[in-house]
């Protein structure tokens, strides 16, 4: 169960499939289990162990219901697996370390919110925005991130969250462009959308393809495409409604 727990933490934190499978196998073998087969998908982990002397097979299944991106946890579990397999660490000690990793809190909300605002503003400049666009994007990006965290609190899935946040960004970008001379809505919208683009999911899907995990690669690539469509749809719907109304300032 220690190995499955470590793999589950990694899966929930956005790790690649091959990394999850390799971690589970290494921990199992370090515990003296020579015959182990691991099959992981983005939504579940399957581990089958076999004891040659007793001639019995035991299979464990762990459902993964949610996921997020937490590179810190992935790094810590990686370090834990290396330490566990190269030292005399006991299973009980390993469980305590995994407890600490699971309880690891992210950065404070205000730091994440300010970082989100800075990221969106910088992307707006990359997409051709000026000083005014930068300032507007800071505010809109901050509000979009706060809206995303609010919707997440009510367990609304990422597809709906992305749609709502991009629609929100498009509306306020158009409103700012209509109200403030010199503000262009395109860089503001583009910068805010980049906050929700599933870049890690796309990267992991390619790495899964390259490592031979076709099922996981297809699943994650499909998820990333659907999320991308939801982001574009959120902004597109608001833009279409705005133009249908004649593009008049509200």
Together in a domain, 94 and 188: no
Distance CA 74, CA 204 (A): 13
Q: Residue 216 belongs to what domain range?
A: 109-244
pTM: 0.81
- What's the pLDDT score for residue 117? 95
Question: Is 163 in the same domain as 227?
Answer: yes
**Residues 122 and 234 occupy one common structural domain:** yes
Which of 58, 80, 102 lies at the terminal end of a domain, its last residue?
102
Token pair of 18, please?
């091959």
Residues of the chain with pLDDT under 50: 249-250
Residue 53 and residue 114 in one domain:
no
The number of distinct structural domains making up the chain is 2
Domain boundary among 102, 125, 148: 102
pLDDT at 249: 47
Do 118 and 90 share a domain, yes or no? Answer: no
- 200 inside domain: yes
Q: Give me the pLDDT at residue 118, please.
A: 95
- Domain boundary at 84, 102, 120, which? 102
Q: Is residue 249 part of a domain?
A: no
At 247 the pLDDT is 64
């Amino acid at each position: 169960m220690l190995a499955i727990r470590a793999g589950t933490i990694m899966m929930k934190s956005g790790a690649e499939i091959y990394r999850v499978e390799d971690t589970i196998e290494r921990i199992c073998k370090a515990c003296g289990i020579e015959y182990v087969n691991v099959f992981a998908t983005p939504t579940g982990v399957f581990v089958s162990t076999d004891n040659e002397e007793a001639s019995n097979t035991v299979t464990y299944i762990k459902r993964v219901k949610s996921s997020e991106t937490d590179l810190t946890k992935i790094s810590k579990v990686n370090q834990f697996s290396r330490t566990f397999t190269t030292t005399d660490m006991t299973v009980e000690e390993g469980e305590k370390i995994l407890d600490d990793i699971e309880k690891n809190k992210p950065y404070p909300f205000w730091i994440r919110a300010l970082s989100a605002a800075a990221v969106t503003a910088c992307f707006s400049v990359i997409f051709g925005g000026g000083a005014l666009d930068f300032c507007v994007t800071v505010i809109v990006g901050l509000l979009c991130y706060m809206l995303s965290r609010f919707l997440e609190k009510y367990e609304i899935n990422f597809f709906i969250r992305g749609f709502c946040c991009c629609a929100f960004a498009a509306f306020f970008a158009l409103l700012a462009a209509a109200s403030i001379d010199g503000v262009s809505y395109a860089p503001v919208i583009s910068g805010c959308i980049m906050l929700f683009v599933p870049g890690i999911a796309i990267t992991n899907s390619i790495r899964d393809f390259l490592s031979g995990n076709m099922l996981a690669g297809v699943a994650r690539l499909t998820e990333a495409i659907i999320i991308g469509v939801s982001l574009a749809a959120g902004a597109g719907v608001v833009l279409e409604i705005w133009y249908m109304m004649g593009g008049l300032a509200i």
